[in-house]
Amino acid sequence: MAFWANLAGYQAVWFAAVIGAGRGLAWPGVLAALVFAAAHLAWTRQRRADLVLVAAAAACGLLIDGGLALAGLMQHAAAAPAVPPGGAPLWILALWCAFALTLNHSLAWLRGRPWLAAAFGAVGAPLAYLGAARGWRAVAIETPLAWLGLAAGWALALGLLATVARRLQPMEQTR
């Protein structure tokens, strides 16, 4: 998928997920992520690598958003259904999966640069969550510890995902 189409597709998913959740609806984000993923996977030549990244990102979302929710440090709007119950809601997991589809495309510049990816995650994710919280009340994060956990979690996750994306790149080039 061309750079701008990939970036715009992900942003559309982000807005659908956050605005929908802020209104108590999980399905707009899930539906938007499914449409984006279907379009993306129909177009890309990196299907296998992208699907591995989607699985890895879903696991990261379960750990980070789910862990913060279960610890009582973050509350998600449209919290049900969640995996596990009380953990990460489906709309946020769909958002993580859609984000993974940018790592070989519009965010390919992070691939193989784990320290840069970690810095991007540590700063960019809290800003995105702040926008979701203040703009649409899709999440509530009240304590500095929660913000620190979010920044640290995203730094580790994005550093890991960028490394995985780089390691998958040669496999895709030989196909």
User: 101-131 pLDDT, tens per residue?
Assistant: 999 999 999 998 999 999 999 999 999 999 9
Q: What is the identity of the amino acid at 108?
A: A
Helix (H, G, I), strand (E, B) or coil at 83: strand
The structure tokens listed for 83 are 């995996």
Q: Are 55 and 160 in contact (CB under 8 A)?
A: no
- pTM reported for the whole predicted model: 0.95
Q: What are 18-62's pLDDT values in tens digits?
A: 999 999 999 999 999 999 999 999 999 999 999 999 999 999 999
